[in-house]
Structure 1
């Protein structure tokens, strides 16, 4: 079997955005973001993704595979069709086409979101601590627990932006807020905007502190490492000390590790 030297395209297909980046054995490239909408077609996706590759100086025929984690099933077939029509390379979903070497302790393993398993796997490959708590601030806020090589499960909570959006749609007089702080200290809001900003930010910080403390107690692991990812994670890291590591590209790192564990030059030579 001849080893292709081209890059792979990694996709984190979420409810709000499709994030993608080119990567190879040396690491990740720049991450781009496309909207996840029900108005996309395979052609619109293919053209958009081909345009990103062109901007990076990579021809469609150079890409050796698309490697995807998706929590939006309606987009999966569209992405497969876009890949077949524009790139003519394999589409590999994680987990599924590429299994993750984690023991899944969920009562119904198939119910776990691909993003949760992938984030846990990525954390396991990056950190040697026995017990890990992975917090992902996405459309929902998820807490996932890993001990040794086992995915134990976790918690699902409201997301930051979805909470703010719900407030805005249900309360006409509330203003739009920036979710930014002038300082790391809690203030008593003297305006509606300030009250909202500090209420949301410090409210989620308190949830993060409380739930990670309770999970550490439940896991009998007071030194469990807390790894945070997602766009809102840096905001919280500025106002709470319970986050040990920020990992903004955690899912992409997981996709990269999952693919090259099976498709490294050594493994391909062994399979030839």
Structure 2
């Protein structure tokens, strides 16, 4: 079985695949200070809780946008699973041309998402990934990575409100209960501003990207933890695929795996 790691700035999403089937997935906090043993214990506990055999893992693949954490995760994979992990980066075959001025600048997660979405939905398409940052990635009908846009994430924006102001509270990241933009209390006003304001950002960027791509028939796929909240209020998102990156990691693994004798 394959253990896939999607390492983001806030969370690490893990998934176990048996062939093409995702058996289970977990989300843990990203912590650059944790050692290989600490991550090993956390993952062992997850396996034990779900009655899974650590020995059943034959391969590990890691995609990361947090370089300082890689040493611990690579050491953990070798020590606890007895495998050298496959790392998404230079030298990995993806089959997707990167039409960026400097392809090395594109985050591994953006490429993985692009590969997964193109394989699952075809092109042309736009992927909106609601992570610590929100990324917009454009993929052509030919499966080329055209580029994209990056904005502060929803949670970063929300945290700025209550950490940089004296009286505004921390609020749940959901639309107001009455679905109104004109809030009648502070919590509702903040939720309206955050959720509907972010819908405006998404709709504006997606509309502009579609125009630049020269097609109105562009699929828009949302992924990431907060994606269902924004997608439910936005008019431009066609599908939500919260575990898109894990699917991309499986696809990349299959393209690059070495048959063990």
TM-score (structure 2 length as normaliser): 0.94
Distance (whole Å) between structure 1 residues aligned to residue 91 and residue 59 of structure 2 = 12
Aligned to 2:86: 92
Note the 1:28-67 alignment, pairs <5 A. Answer: 28-67=22-61
The 8 Å contact of residues 140 and 156 in structure 1, kept in 2 or not, is answered as yes
The aligned length equals: 260
Moved more, 48-57 or 117-126: 48-57
Task: Render the CA deviation track for 1:152-206: whole Å, top value 9, x for unaligned.
Answer: 1100001000111111111121011112235574331121111100000000001
Point out 4+ residue stretches in structure 1 off by more than 6 angstroms.
Answer: none
The answer on 1:123 being equivalent to 2:117 is yes
Relative distance call for 1:184 and 1:12 in structure 2 (3 A) is farther
Aligned to 1:252: 246
The 8 Å contact of residues 96 and 115 in structure 2, kept in 1 or not, is answered as yes
Aligned match of 1:159 in 141, 145, 153? 153
The answer on 1:114 being equivalent to 2:112 is no
Structure 2 gaps of 5+ residues are: none
The answer on 1:136 being equivalent to 2:129 is yes
Distance (whole Å) between structure 2 residues aligned to residue 133 and residue 257 of structure 1 = 19
The answer on 1:25 being equivalent to 2:19 is yes
Q: Quote the RMSD (CA, aligned, Å).
A: 1.7
Distance (whole Å) between structure 2 residues aligned to residue 194 and residue 200 of structure 1 = 10
The 8 Å contact of residues 133 and 143 in structure 1, kept in 2 or not, is answered as yes
Aligned to 1:3: none
Relative distance call for 1:182 and 1:190 in structure 2 (3 A) is closer
Distance (whole Å) between structure 1 residues aligned to residue 190 and residue 176 of structure 2 = 14
Relative distance call for 1:182 and 1:196 in structure 2 (3 A) is closer
Note the 1:67-216 alignment, pairs <5 A. Answer: 67-96=61-90, 98-128=92-122, 130-147=123-140, 148-182=142-176, 185-216=179-210
Distance (whole Å) between structure 1 residues aligned to residue 148 and residue 178 of structure 2 = 28
Distance (whole Å) between structure 1 residues aligned to residue 214 and residue 180 of structure 2 = 31
The 8 Å contact of residues 122 and 253 in structure 1, kept in 2 or not, is answered as yes
Distance (whole Å) between structure 2 residues aligned to residue 56 and residue 189 of structure 1 = 43
The 8 Å contact of residues 181 and 193 in structure 2, kept in 1 or not, is answered as no
Aligned to 1:218: 212
Moved more, 249-258 or 174-183: 174-183
Distance (whole Å) between structure 2 residues aligned to residue 217 and residue 260 of structure 1 = 34
The 8 Å contact of residues 184 and 239 in structure 1, kept in 2 or not, is answered as no
Relative distance call for 1:81 and 1:11 in structure 2 (3 A) is same
TM-score (structure 1 length as normaliser): 0.90
Aligned match of 2:233 in 239, 245, 256? 239
The 8 Å contact of residues 124 and 143 in structure 2, kept in 1 or not, is answered as no
The 8 Å contact of residues 181 and 196 in structure 2, kept in 1 or not, is answered as no
The 8 Å contact of residues 132 and 145 in structure 1, kept in 2 or not, is answered as yes
SS at match of 1:51: helix
